[in-house]
Amino acid sequence: MLRTGEYPLTAVTATYGSMPHWTRRALSPIPAYRRIDEDEYYPPMNMLVAALVFVPLLTVSMAHLMWSFGLTWPIRDEKLLAQTVVGTQGVERMPPRWASFGVSLLTFAAGILALALADHTSGGLALTLSALPAAAIFIGRGALGYTARWSELTPEPNFRLSDRRIYSPLCLAIGIGFLILFLMRLL
């Protein structure tokens, strides 16, 4: 006869003595339902948007970090790389290494900001409002890429092509992502 709180001896329950506590709970015949408090719940959409903003920012950050160490990735020729990522007329060399390192830190910080914005319970109003300048910076850079003045400042053909196809649309998408994260924190 089983007493209250005892379970019948089975192959699963017979080995409880040698199993860690988390395995015992997972194999328990009585489900261990736990109510998720509203404060602990991270809506999947917040996390998805934050990840979609973070991954490109991390990629950009890693590229700038490599350039700050003097590596010429993904293009081995420094002049061609400078023409592709800087774009100013007559550019022969990459910008100073400290500038690439600074951009690397700033883009990584923006990515961390996006991940922090996914948690709607942390940081308060200051964190929520910090999404607006980030969105403005990225949307501004994205929109700038489509202006005639920007085309005059950066006439290198490799840069123009990459800017129209990759850099500006990516900046617009990241800026819109920050706006979405801002609005989702308000809901």
Residue 23 in domain? no
**What string of H, E and C letters represents the secondary structure of the chain?**
CCCCCCCCCCCCHHHHHHCCHHHHHHHCCCCCCCCCCHHHCCCHHHHHHHHHHHHHHHHHHHHHHHHHCCCCCCCCCHHHHHHHHCCCCCCCCCCCHHHHHHHHHHHHHHHHHHHHHHCCCCCHHHHHHHHHHHHHHHHHHHHHCCCHHHHHHCCCHHHHHHHHHHHHHHHHHHHHHHHHHHHHHHC
| Domain encompassing residue 173 | 40-186
pLDDT band at 97 (very low <50, low <70, confident <90, very high): very high
Residue 151 in domain? yes
Residue 82 in domain? yes
Domain count within the chain? 1
Which tens digits make up the pLDDT trace of 41-85?
Answer: 557 889 999 999 999 999 999 999 999 999 998 999 999 999 999
**What is the pTM assigned to this prediction?**
0.77
CA distances from 79 to 49, 64, 65, 72, 130 (A): 36, 16, 18, 10, 37
Residue 62 in domain? yes
pLDDT at 11: 46
Residue 127 in domain? yes
Which tens digits make up the pLDDT trace of 160-182?
Answer: 999 999 999 999 999 999 999 99
